[in-house]
Structure 1
Amino acid sequence: MVSVIIFLGSPGSGKGTQASKLSDVFGYEHISIGDMLRKNVEEKSDLGLKASEFIDSGRLVPDELIIEVVSSFFGDFVSNKEGRVILDGFPRTEPQAFALEKIIRELHINLSSVLYLDVDDDEVISRLSERGRKDDEPELVLNRLNVYRDQTEPLLKYYNDQGVLKEIDGNKSPDLVFSEISELIEVEA
């Protein structure tokens, strides 16, 4: 059976860093929706061209485009093997969460946990200013944080109500955060 861990957190909370470490140490397949989208933008694919106008202005890519990418991935993944998957950057909205719930149910996938990396805004701004990506410019960061609060934070209640949400203090050093996540993962294994 395929098992899934979801990482939630604001931009710059360390989702990608922690997901990569988990992938290396525990063998999870790390699926970064942001990386998938950036690759499509770079390659100027149909999806990339559609997504670039949203990414360049700091807005979320529309749900239907993201859901299409994730649905296609899981269809291929489940048919090819069993394994463990980390979703980094998905879901970000309630419609995406509902679509994921449907995919999970239809493909008999286990949602093992949702890890929420809670990071203060000042820390997020500091981290993103050091990262240097095009979408990390100060005005876009503030816009992305507002979009996150409006569209993604409601998922915390949704997953808490399902009993799968685990909150982690993401303000700590990456090694301390990883240690805490590792303990949670080992308990579930």
Structure 2
Amino acid sequence: MVVWTRAVVRTWRCRPTNFSRAFSEKLPTPEAKGRNVQWVFLGCPGVGKGTYAARLSKLLGVPHIATGDLVRQQLSSHGPLALKLVDIVSQGQLISDEIVIDLLSKRLEAGEAKGEIGFILDGFPRTIRQAEILEGVTDIDLVINLKLREDALIAKCLGRRTCSECGGNYNVACIDMKGDDGETRMYMPPLLPPPHCETKLITRSDDTENVVKERLRIYHETSKPVEDFYRKRGKLLEFDLPGGIPESWQKLLQALNIYDDDEDKKSAAA
């Protein structure tokens, strides 16, 4: 049985941003810093939840909490939980609700102690049970569901690389595909490392074709219903990624009605 501590419940119950206002207002930077948004990112493994959640976290001044990062921190800690997680992750299996919620609880407690306000969740909830637990303790403002065709997803996952020295994340895959209509083109250029990281790139142990396909199968079976859960509550924003990060980022900001002054400055200087 999962028990949520009082500290965690207080953190999850921080006052939500008015949902309609999130779509009707422009959110200038830096005035947007510290907004008390409570958002969730959904999407298949490898779709880019972490990338876009991290960018929005920086833009809006709220913490980005990725359960995948919490799990990887445990794996690198060599603690008692690490051995159990190694077997689960290496097989592409879904980590139990109890483990995920325990890790998330501790992260929220630590955030509350530091005075954090609001959050952008990435990788939680992944099951109906997790969504129901979350629903019981807070009002999520918005759920952003990132979507990408499966062949592109697999290519992205197989192209992921991490620098063993600095921890930087890169992708060596160059995705150039025609749409189902034979005319629409999807282009995602590789995200290559700087020269000093080129010889230090490593591949995640779970980024093999068999494991990636298994993770996608599990996602469709167990996590897809979460989309319907939030769709019925009028909180789901479906967003089809049109291409690489520059193109997709701008269109995501437009869908969220968010204004990024820094991006405008970059465009003007180009």
CA distance in 1, matches of 2:119, 2:223: 20
1:150 to 213, 216, 221: 221
Establish whether residue 86 from structure 1 lines up as the match of residue 120 from structure 2.
Answer: yes
Deviates more, 1:90-99 or 1:169-178: 169-178
What is the SS of the residue equivalent to 1:25? helix
* 1:29–1:86 CA contact under 8 A, matched in 2: yes
CA change 1:96–1:138 in 2 (3 A) is same
CA change 1:49–1:99 in 2 (3 A) is farther
Aligned position for 1:39:
73
CA change 1:185–1:39 in 2 (3 A) is farther
Per the TM alignment, residue 182 of structure 1 is displaced from its structure 2 partner at its CA by 2.1
| Residue identity matched to 1:159 | Y
What is the SS of the residue equivalent to 2:141? strand
CA distance in 1, matches of 2:113, 2:257: 25
TM-score for the superposition, normalised by structure 2? 0.63
Q: Choose between structure 1 and 2 for higher RCO, CA contacts under 8 A separated by at least 6 residues.
A: 1
Per the TM alignment, residue 72 of structure 1 is displaced from its structure 2 partner at its CA by 2.9
Aligned position for 1:77:
111
Deviations 1:145-173 (A, max 9, x none): 00000011111100001111001112422
Stretches of structure 1 that go unaligned for 5 or more consecutive residues are: 105-109
CA change 1:157–1:36 in 2 (3 A) is same
TM-score for the superposition, normalised by structure 1? 0.88
| Residue identity matched to 1:138 | E
Aligned position for 1:17:
51
The size of the alignment, in residue pairs, is: 182
Aligned position for 1:114:
143
Higher gyration radius (CA): 2
| Residue identity matched to 1:186 | I
Per the TM alignment, residue 175 of structure 1 is displaced from its structure 2 partner at its CA by 1.9
CA distance in 2, matches of 1:112, 1:185: 14
Report matched runs for 1:45-84 at 5 Å: 45-78=79-112, 80-84=114-118
* 1:60–1:147 CA contact under 8 A, matched in 2: yes
1 or 2, which has the higher helix percentage?
Answer: 1
Per the TM alignment, residue 82 of structure 1 is displaced from its structure 2 partner at its CA by 4.9
Aligned position for 1:168:
239
Deviates more, 1:35-44 or 1:71-80: 71-80
2:156 to 110, 117, 127: 127
Deviates more, 1:92-101 or 1:167-176: 167-176
CA distance in 1, matches of 2:84, 2:242: 34
* 1:7–1:116 CA contact under 8 A, matched in 2: yes
* 2:37–2:62 CA contact under 8 A, matched in 1: no
Matched-pair identity in %:
32
Per the TM alignment, residue 73 of structure 1 is displaced from its structure 2 partner at its CA by 2.6
CA distance in 2, matches of 1:19, 1:82: 16
CA distance in 2, matches of 1:29, 1:9: 19
The two structures, once aligned, show a CA RMSD in angstroms of 1.8
CA distance in 1, matches of 2:144, 2:152: 19
Stretches of structure 2 that go unaligned for 5 or more consecutive residues are: 1-14, 16-35, 161-202, 260-270
CA change 1:79–1:33 in 2 (3 A) is same
